[in-house]
Structure 1
Amino acid sequence: MIMQIRIVFILVVMFALVGTSSGHPDSVRISGHAPGYAGHDIVFHYHKDNITFTEEVFVTISVDSTESFSATAAAKDNPLYVFSNSGVHYLYMYVESGKHYQVVLPEKTPRTRWESLNPYFEGTPTHIAVLNHDDDELNNLISEFDGYYETLFGEPFLALTAQRDQQILDSVSLENERLFSGTGNDWFDDYRRYRMAFFRMMARVEASRGISDNYFRDAPVLYDNIAYMELFNQVYNNYFLFLARTARGKSIHDDINKFASYSRLMNTLQNDDVLGGDRLLEMVMLKGLHDSFYGSDFSRSALLRILDSLAVSTNYPEHAHIARNIREKTTRLMTGFRPPEINMKNREGVFVNLSDYHGEYVYLNFCTAASYSCLSEYDLLQRLDERFGEHFRIVTIFIAEEFEAMTGFLEKNDYNWDFLFYGDQPSVLKDYDIRMFPTCYFIGRDGKLLMSPAPLPSEDFERFLVRTLRSDGLIR
């Protein structure tokens, strides 16, 4: 599936440029102007890896009363793709250690009520314009190339899919080289190469197996190159199911479901000579393990055992890191495992972590004041709090664009349990797989999930709560 990238060029009045150095070789500095954001925070994230796409906070930017900001963050991978879901915009850019980026953000535009109610709303992709760098800066190169790349999916794409004309492909390739070669930026050259390979595959000029042979076999694994990993994820999507249908991979179900064996699975994958060396082979295994958690063909417990074996056996630190991320992602909402961490402001503006409730039962719920279903549950939550509040904690993740919307709601309503502001960690909706409001989870005193998801108050959650508290000797 092609993600259509809309490049939004932000027109600004240029002001005096500053130096491009962050002042420290191991940090990144971002400063500039954010119209409409005065007094608010903008949180930028990055992906811990490009198989799980687990999000981690990169930097929180506080915008002052003049709509200006400056923030410094520790450098991660180099370059690093960072992004922020901000109102109707999905802001993104690439940052490199030791550099200072002076930017102007598009004016803040809040989401509509209905957009706010949709946990999977995606804003307009907006590549942030960098003011204080020349044309050969990575963001400028990618922005210009992506604009060109999008045009290929018009007339050239239609002509290729209809005619399979090699001359059209040669013409596109020559134009690409004429416009974008000679930058001296190896990361950008790899980005171009794998974007064009993706185009070839989408136009059905080259099949997945040919792409695997020509672009991945015997080539370096580019873990942090967005274009490489997008193509990788497309080519090796649900690879185990594909391989199991072939003579060389017919043992894959036994390797996993019967033996739960990392070594047997590795031997089976080695039968597919298109995978080349151990590094790529193991990356494909990681991708296959990840995808298999979301199907019904393989035992989840067996997949976890193989994943754990890979994490301790691999010779590649990157793979151990990805294996841990896959385990964390796939078990985060399973009963008996710890749910994703939360770090959000309460009504007093104090940041609270989910781990702060360790030792207490927690009834975690996700709600918004714009949902009648949520509002109808609040009176029942209040009754639970009044009856059992000394034995368990109710924690509501309040879905709103502005912190003031939560505090204003609480000023009008006498609800005494804990409310936390979702805007400090928007990724929490994906972390908890929130598909409707309200959604609830019940967490034990050891910090692990007891019910995932849990019944709503209107679905007789009280009966389960009473049974749990009695079994723990907290009530009679």
Structure 2
Amino acid sequence: MIEFRKAGILLVFQILCFPLYGQNVEVSGNAPAFGGEKIEFFLSPNPVIHIDKPAGECFVDDEGNFLCELNIEKTCRVFVPLGIYRGYFYAIPGNRYILSLPPPKKKTDAQEINPYFREIIIHLGILNEDKMGLNYLVHKFDDLFYPLLEDAAINAYIHKTSDYNSLIDKLNNLDDSTAVPFYDNYKKYNIQLLKIVSSGFSTEHKKLFSSAGLSLDYNNPSCIALINQVFNNYFSNLGRTKEGKKIYAYINRDRNYFSLLEIVKNDLSASNDSLPELVILKSIYEGFYQKEFSNKRLLEILDSLQVSTKIFEHRIFAKQIREDVTRLMKGFPAPDFALENSADSITELNALKGKYVYLCFCSTRSYPCMNQFILLGDLLKKFNEKLAIVIVMADNDNSIVKKFAQDYGFEGIVLIAGIRNDLFKQYKIKAYPTYYLIDPDGNFLLSPSLSPAENFESVFRNILLSR
């Protein structure tokens, strides 16, 4: 069952905003508690995968004042990381926003290295907006909408019928008539989502955009939420139909993107390529984490879409999806990095080419990590000429990492990640320890790899014998 809590939806369903030739949005405020801190602003430019795109940054002065200009093409949501919080607000090109920030609360060291930690999502207050301002209207609508949506989801789960007409009446009775199209669409998409959840999903909902006259709006998070709900596991569901089962041949055998596009357009009763292409992009990304399709064939379909599409945004999405799914794929280059090592010098991953690299992400707080260091030391002694063992420690305290390396007498390369949380996101670290084996050319060979306790030595010997 999909969790429809407000924070969950705000986190999962991201939006698009392309700052191409936009107008400046001025953001300011007074937050003395943040004095000396840097505040960063991000857009989330891809509705299929989560990508933070920098939109601007500024420093808070000693008196708590800050001022930043963001270049924004269309009305969209702007994110502001604030310690344990992930704040957001809606920005209209050409407008000024005076932000009200929550009391600062930094992440603990444990939260910093925890790959499962998720920030608390909060809608930031806007001090210079009245009751007809976009942020006020959205906040007011959300306060009523999300409890209704969650109740409807629970009722659907227990097969209890919801009277969605009465629920929708509550939303329509809000005193929120406005000349802001973004808000009107935000409300319209969410009402359609409530109808779907209340009435139970039907295959006819796939034709919602054509039958209800809804347009595709990448900038509006409620539009993306609706798409994610209606088209979840779309390829798998389509493949169960008499006509739709052809997609397996189109993808896995024929690598025929145009036949795939045609069958999706027909299924959605779409008059143009916009929605079908976006649904295909979303479904391709899902397909990489399912067993029904060949990853190689999915990449070929993705490349065909990127080359043939006439929609600029879809070319960008396809490129970003390709980069995301191939980042850790066997045969593709391992993302390079340069970090301080326990000997107070810098080690660059690409500088180790010529040897196999057994790359481990670990933490001094992880018992399984500590438990395997003796095994790693034994591996290094046996394969020192062929294998470099690199351990990236997810710790902020350099002295602890250095003492740790000394205490264990480990002679491999121990690197200190410090505040490089982006590296753990890049390598999609979800648990400690996590291992990868990189070949002498710098490409992934085992991704992820077995741990020393899982008979890695035997597997590696066979690799050496086969080459």
> Is the pair's TM-score, using the shorter chain for normalization, greater than 0.5?
yes
Separation in 1 of the partners of 2:7 and 2:248?
42
CA distance in 2, matches of 1:358, 1:68: 48
Aligned to 1:109, what secondary structure does the other structure show? Answer: coil
The answer to whether the aligner puts 1:78 opposite 2:74 as a matched pair is: yes
Partner of 1:120: 116
Give 1:335's match in structure 2, choosing from 314, 330, 333.
330
| 1:125-173 C-alpha deviation (Å, 9 max, x unpaired) | 2122233444444333322221121242477888998455465145224
The match for 1:260 among 249, 255, 259 is 255
Are 2:183 and 1:185 aligned?
A: no
Whether 1:131 and 2:127 are equivalent positions in the alignment is yes
Q: Are 2:88 and 1:92 equivalent residues in the alignment? A: yes
Residues 303/411 of structure 1: CA separation in 2 closer, same or farther (3 Å cut): closer
Report what 1:224 is aligned to.
219
Contact kept in structure 1, 2:89 and 2:123, CA below 8 Å: yes
Partner of 1:374: 369
Give 1:15's aligned residue.
none
- Gap regions ≥5 residues in structure 2: 9-20, 407-411
* Mapped contact 1:343–1:425 kept (Cα < 8 A): no
SS in 1 for 2:397: helix
What CA distance in whole angstroms lies between the structure 2 residues aligned with 1:322 and 1:240? Answer: 18
Give the RMSD, CA atoms, in angstroms.
4.2
SS at match of 2:282: helix
- 1:209·1:274 contact (CA, 8 Å) conserved in 2? no
SS of the residue 2:303 aligns to: helix
Paired letter, 1:321:
I
**In the alignment, is residue 142 of structure 1 matched against residue 133 of structure 2?**
no
The answer to whether the 8 A contact 1:362-1:393 is kept is yes
Q: Which has the higher contact order (CA 8 A, sep 6+)?
A: 1
Could you tell me how far apart the structure 2 residues matched to 1:466 and 1:159 are?
56
Which residue of the partner structure matches residue 46 of structure 1? 43
What displacement does 1:194 show?
A: 0.9
Q: Which residue of 1 aligns with 2:18?
A: none
Amino acid at match of 1:49: N
CA distance in 2, matches of 1:367, 1:395: 10
Judge conservation of contact 1:238–1:288 (CA < 8 Å) in 2: yes
Q: CA shift at 1:335, angstroms? A: 0.9
- What's the CA shift string for 1:9-62, capped at 9, x where partnerless? xxxxxxxxxxxxxxx965555444567656655555433311122344445555
Residues in 2 aligned to 1:393 and 1:100: alpha-carbon distance in whole angstroms:
53
Contact 1:395/1:420 (<8 A) preserved: no
1:77 and 1:379 map into 2 onto residues whose CA distance is 55
One-letter identity of the residue aligned with 1:5: K
Which of these residues, 169, 172, 178, is aligned with residue 170 of structure 2? 172
Q: 1:150 to 1:269 in 2, by over 3 A?
A: closer
Aligned residues: 446
User: Is the 2:28–2:65 Cα contact (8 Å) retained in structure 1?
Assistant: yes
CA–CA distance in 1 between the matches of 2:183 and 2:119?
25
Alignment deviations for residues 198-229 of structure 1 (CA, whole Å, 9 cap, x no partner): 1111112x644444434356543212211101
SS in 2 for 1:94: strand
* Residue identity (%): 30
| Preserved CA contact (<8 Å) 2:43 2:53 | yes
1:98, 1:389 → 2: CA distance? 60
1:236 shift after superposition:
0.9
Structure 1 residues 127 and 273, CA gap change in structure 2 (3 angstroms): closer
- CA distance 1:466–1:254, shift in 2 (3 Å): closer
| Equivalent-residue separation in structure 2 for 1:196 and 1:312 (angstroms) | 36
Verify: 1:279 aligned to 2:270, yes or no.
no
**Structure 1 residue 421 corresponds to structure 2 residue 417:** yes
Partner SS, residue 152 of structure 1? helix
Contact 1:135 1:141 survives alignment (8 Å) = yes
Rounded Cα–Cα distance in structure 2 between residues aligned with 1:349 and 1:40: 27
**Separation (CA, whole Å) in 1 of partners of 2:176 and 2:25:** 26
Q: 1:245 and 1:467, CA in 2 relative to 1: closer, same or farther beyond 3 A? A: closer
Distance 2:192 2:87 in 1: 26
Q: CA deviation at 1:313?
A: 0.9
Q: Is the 8 A contact 1:30 1:100 kept in 2?
A: yes
Distance 1:457 1:155, change over 3 A: closer
Match of 2:409 in 1: none
Q: Does 1:213 align with 2:207?
A: yes
